Amino acid sequence: MANRLADSTSPYLQQHADNPVDWYEWGDEAFAEAKRRDVPIFLSVGYSACHWCHVMAHESFEKENVARVLNERFVSIKVDREERPDVDAIYMDATVSLTGSGGWPMSVFLDHDGRPFYAGTYFPPEPRHGLPSFTQLAMGLSDAWNDRREDVLAAGVRIIKALESRSLPEAGDRPPTSEELDAAVATLADQFDRRFAGFGGAPKFPPSMVLEFLLRHTALTGDEDSLRMAEETLTSMARGGMYDQIGGGFARYSVDSRWVVPHFEKMLYDNALLLRVYAHWWRLTGSPLAERVVRQTAAFLLREMRTAEGGFAAALDADSEGQEGAFYVWTPQQLADLLGHEDGVWAADLLSVTEEGTFEDGMSTLQLLRDPDDADRWERVRAVLLAAREERERPGRDDKVVASWNGLAIAALAEAGALLGESTWIEAAAGAADLLVAVHLGADDDDRLVRTSRDGVAGSTAGVVDDYGCVAEGFQSLFQVTGDDAWLVLAGVCLDVAIQHFADGEGGFYTTADDVMGLIQRPRDPADNAEPSGWMAVANACITQGALTGVTEYRSVAEAALCLVSVLGPRSPRAMGWGLAAAAALEAGPLEVAVVSESGDPAVGDWWWTALMGTSPGLVVAVGSPGEDDVPLLRERPTVDGHPTAYVCQGFTCDRPTTDLATLADRIGTRATPSAE
């Protein structure tokens, strides 16, 4: 018999709909039932692509004996962390405070007011490695609730007071200076892995936001260390096992320091962020490796992550056939059987597939540590391997559409499509944006975003600040590559809601809006995690909106939001990548490029591309006909003698207009003009 999760829009929650555990979704109903029965609450938080979440589900939540304990002694709540990042943030903070570490599945026990009195992550079905069995733990906590209630409640109060007593450092009185940006680079250089690239040791996560900052710092200053750290990391990730060498796209992270063995889940946010940063690397240097990764990753997104409604799915699982990574790994014999002996041996050598294996049970991940000596042969082999892999049991797909992650994908596909001349990528970005407007932004009449949807149906969770910042940036990118000013207007709508309902009064932003109820705390976090901080996403988008519209209030909001980066950026740059990238844009201006041409002039495409190829950090572009009053950057911008004309401006104060493409390219740091490409 299905429980209450059967009608959820979250595939992760639906995976637990047939559990014997009597799950509730997060909400008033569950807390009211716990009070009525006078039992504590068990909160389990995870996500669909989480390997250990599946393990704990199979070992415990699918078992009748475990369900009996939970159903008799607790009210059990299941939360998808991707759907409720606010709930996840609050209780992960508590878990880390209590245990010194965190992760998923997250297992937290709460009182009737939502205060945690015990927290952990994975618990085994039998005592193991110093951990109690899950049933032992649950029964012990239930007994404590019944026999020592005052102690339990007091523990919850102490935990919350401890969390509330922590505060952010005092912000500076201005955004980071050029010296502080340099200091952040110096700190990154100290933390850089000079042997294998990346930052720190195993596990290694893709430092997407930091890489964006390093590329911007390179363009701003010409600093060779910034470019070296970025290029070595981008190269190592692209050549190692974390990158899908035959299908494109990146796995979540590398479990080792050498980028050989990934944790095989593929997340939309990782691939959107990395697609964009590789496109920016190509824009800055022309790297053939960067272009290959961009083209293959965009193809992966359109082939495997696009939903029927035009959005992009949240994730692909790590597991298939009951094993992590089974879809992606190979043996030399499998290659020989599929390709023939000669090509099989050649492919095994090229892809570092060994008899011993680089993964488990003699299997190997695929690496491409050098360019093939025969490109045509490699493309034939790659096509055969990809087709054969399609016959394997595929990993599960979490096909909910997350607003912020789709905003990141829209920005990446729109920009990469414009830079590399792939109109289908731009069309896909516009299709995803249309879905966000129709389903996520159009669910009510108050300009508020819904966090998730599935099958074209909006979920019930309100958008968090990340959604508003990232969706606004996606809309801004679409405006700049299509010229459709409706996207610029919608970006402003998102940012106005963020400023009105999420601002903390001190220059920063809360994760949740001021009218979201039912949480013991209102989380606030300026630090990036696997995706950009919502606080800094709004700051980035406000810089762009101010530059495109001339509305100085947006820039003022961004400057206030970045004051904390002047303090944290130089000493903790790995947590401040998106804020540092925004600060680099402020330091550069950002430059504003207006291109005007007579209607129908075929030459405008070359001008548009040259403007978009500009590497000056945060550069914005508006293209149109003279007298387009709907786009502020184009107002009172005539052509010169009827030729396509570019105005390079800063704060809407412009240099002398130019009708020479090379002059435009030189002013904005464009690597090449169309004739040079």
Q: Tell whether the model's pLDDT for residue 676 goes beyond 70.
A: no
**pLDDT tens, residue by residue, 96-129:** 988 988 999 999 999 999 999 999 999 999 998 7
Banded model confidence at residue 396, pLDDT cuts 50, 70, 90: very high
One DSSP character per residue, 275-339 reads: HHHHHHHHHHH--HHHHHHHHHHHHHIIIIIB-TTS-B-SEE-SEETTEETTTT-B-HHHHHHHH
Q: Tell whether the model's pLDDT for residue 1 goes beyond 70.
A: no
Global pTM value: 0.95
Phi and psi dihedrals of 592, rounded to 5? Answer: -120, 125
Q: How far apart are CA 216 and CA 391, in angstroms?
A: 42
Average pLDDT estimate for 275-300? 98
Looking at residue 493, what is its pLDDT?
97
| Positive/negative CA dihedral, 442, 445, 451, 457 | negative
Q: Tell whether the model's pLDDT for residue 431 goes beyond 80.
A: yes
* Cis before 262 (ω within 30): no
Structure tokens at 242: 């974390």
Looking at residue 439, what is its pLDDT?
96
343 CB contacts (<8 Å, ≥6 apart)? 335, 377, 381
The share of the chain scoring above pLDDT 90, in percent, equals: 87
Looking at residue 630, what is its pLDDT?
83
Structure tokens at 569: 């950026």
Q: Which fold has domain 591-668?
A: Glutaredoxin (3.40.30)
Looking at residue 296, what is its pLDDT?
98
User: Angle at the Cα of 541 (from 81 to 456), degrees rounded to 5?
Assistant: 45
Looking at residue 128, what is its pLDDT?
85
Q: Which fold has domain 197-317+398-588?
A: Glycosyltransferase (1.50.10)
Which of 85-94, 353-362, 667-676 shows the lowest per-residue confidence on average (mean pLDDT)?
A: 667-676
In CATH, the number for domain 4-165 is 3.40.30.10
**pLDDT tens, residue by residue, 564-622:** 999 999 999 999 999 999 999 999 999 999 999 988 788 889 999 999 999 999 999 99
Looking at residue 444, what is its pLDDT?
64
Helix axes 224-239, 178-191, angle to 10 degrees: 40
Instruction: Report the mean per-residue pLDDT for the chain.
Output: 94
The share of the chain scoring above pLDDT 70, in percent, equals: 99
Neighbouring CB atoms inside 10 A of 117's CB total 24
Looking at residue 664, what is its pLDDT?
95
Q: Tell whether the model's pLDDT for residue 140 goes beyond 60.
A: yes
**pLDDT tens, residue by residue, 479-525:** 999 999 999 999 999 999 999 999 999 999 999 999 988 899 899 99
Q: How long is the chain?
A: 677
| Positive/negative CA dihedral, 619, 620, 623, 626 | negative
Q: How far apart are CA 537 and CA 208, in angstroms?
A: 14
Q: Tell whether the model's pLDDT for residue 465 goes beyond 90.
A: yes
User: Angle at the Cα of 282 (from 542 to 214), degrees rounded to 5?
Assistant: 55
Q: Tell whether the model's pLDDT for residue 677 goes beyond 80.
A: no
CB 419 within 8 A of CB 297: no
CB 490 within 8 A of CB 475: yes
Do the strands 23-24 and 75-80 form a parallel or antiparallel pair, or are they unpaired? parallel
Looking at residue 671, what is its pLDDT?
83
CA-CA distances (angstroms) from residue 34 to 46, 71, 112, 113, 138? 21, 11, 7, 10, 15
Average pLDDT estimate for 147-152? 95
**pLDDT tens, residue by residue, 208-234:** 999 999 999 999 999 999 999 999 999
Average pLDDT estimate for 117-146? 92
CB 622 within 8 A of CB 636: no
163 CB contacts (<8 Å, ≥6 apart)? 93, 94, 97, 521
Looking at residue 130, what is its pLDDT?
79
Q: How far apart are CA 633 and CA 630, in angstroms?
A: 9
Structure tokens at 383: 């096509």
Banded model confidence at residue 155, pLDDT cuts 50, 70, 90: very high
Q: What is the CA radius of gyration of the chain?
A: 26
552 burial class (0-12, 13-18, 19+ CB within 10 angstroms)? exposed
Nearest to 81 by CA among 70, 93, 67, 64: 93
CB 411 within 8 A of CB 537: no
CB 525 within 8 A of CB 531: no
Looking at residue 417, what is its pLDDT?
98
Which of 75-84, 343-352, 361-370, 624-633 shows the lowest per-residue confidence on average (mean pLDDT)?
A: 624-633
CB 394 within 8 A of CB 327: yes
How much of the chain is helix, strand and coil, in % rounded to 5? Answer: 50, 10, 40
One DSSP character per residue, 240-264 reads: STTB-TTT--B-SEESSTTS-SEE-
| Positive/negative CA dihedral, 209, 211, 214, 216 | negative
Structure tokens at 646: 């570019």
Q: How far apart are CA 506 and CA 17, in angstroms?
A: 43
Alpha helices in 78-174 (DSSP H): 85-99, 134-147, 149-165
Helix (H) or strand (E) holding 33: helix 28-37
Q: How far apart are CA 43 and CA 152, in angstroms?
A: 16
Q: Write a three-state SS string for 329-368.
A: CECHHHHHHHHCHHHHHHHHHHCCCCCCCCCCCCCECCCC
**pLDDT tens, residue by residue, 372-392:** 999 999 999 999 999 999 999
**pLDDT tens, residue by residue, 305-321:** 999 999 999 999 998 88
Q: How far apart are CA 276 and CA 282, in angstroms?
A: 10
In this structure, which amino acid lies at residue 320?
A: S
What residue spans in the chain does CATH classification 3.40.30.10 cover?
4-165
Phi and psi dihedrals of 134, rounded to 5? Answer: -60, -40
Phi and psi dihedrals of 476, rounded to 5? Answer: -60, -40
Q: Tell whether the model's pLDDT for residue 471 goes beyond 90.
A: yes
What residue spans in the chain does CATH classification 1.50.10.10 cover?
197-317+398-588
Q: How far apart are CA 249 and CA 266, in angstroms?
A: 8
Average pLDDT estimate for 176-188? 98
Q: How far apart are CA 664 and CA 677, in angstroms?
A: 16
